[in-house]
Amino acid sequence: MKPAPSSGCAVIHAGVATHAGKQGFNYFTGIATETVGSQHLCMHLLNIPPGGRAQPHRHNQHETAIYVLSGEAGMWYGDDLREHVITKAGDFVYIPAGVPHLPYNRSQTDPCLAVVARTDPNEQESVELVPLPDHVTS
């Protein structure tokens, strides 16, 4: 899909395509500079497979907002990924710019589905992988 003109609206139809993120997950293509010409945000649908885990990463200069649609996820975050939170369907998650994090699906049988929005319109441009600390086991 070509970017929409600055005065136009655009629709990304469900299930059109997916793309692989540096974080190790596949994302359903959504709103981004590459798809609709957005200038300040991106929004995608993320399906974390059963037992799936991202690569530890951060988004320098960009905030992230997540809404969990179904399933249950955990996330290590902060300096050396020392902090941990658990989220479930209906929860909102906010990740400040530059904060390292590592989300994972807590279930070995059910996927976790979430809407992810970020202030990086290029979606993958600000992704910076960080080392996995020895203490992280999930």
Domain-embedded: residue 12: no
C-beta atoms surrounding 77 within 10 Å: 19
Asked, for residue 10, whether it belongs to a domain, the answer is no
Cα separation of the two ends of the chain: 37
- Does residue 18 lie within any of the structural domains? no
> Is 42 within the bounds of a domain?
yes
Residue 135 placed within a domain: no
Beta bridge partners of 72: 88
pTM (2 d.p.) = 0.84
Rounded Cα distance, 2 and 16, in Å: 14
SS3 128: strand
| DSSP 8-class letter at 113 | E
Instruction: Please check whether residue 4 lies inside any domain of the structure.
Output: no
Residue 58, both tokens: 């951060």
The CATH number of whichever domain residue 98 belongs to comes to 2.60.120.10
Number of independent structural domains in the chain: 1
Range of the structural domain that residue 79 is part of: 26-118
**pLDDT tens figures, 1-11:** 445 555 678 88
For 93, the enclosing helix (H) or strand (E) is strand 92-95
What tokens does 121 get?
Answer: 């319109």
In this structure, is residue 69 part of a structural domain?
yes
Kindly state the tokens that stand for 3.
């970017």
Q: What is the mean pLDDT of residues 2-28?
A: 66
Q: Is residue 2 part of a domain?
A: no
Q: What is the pLDDT of residues 76-103, one digit of tens each?
A: 999 999 999 999 999 999 999 999 999 9
SS3 18: strand
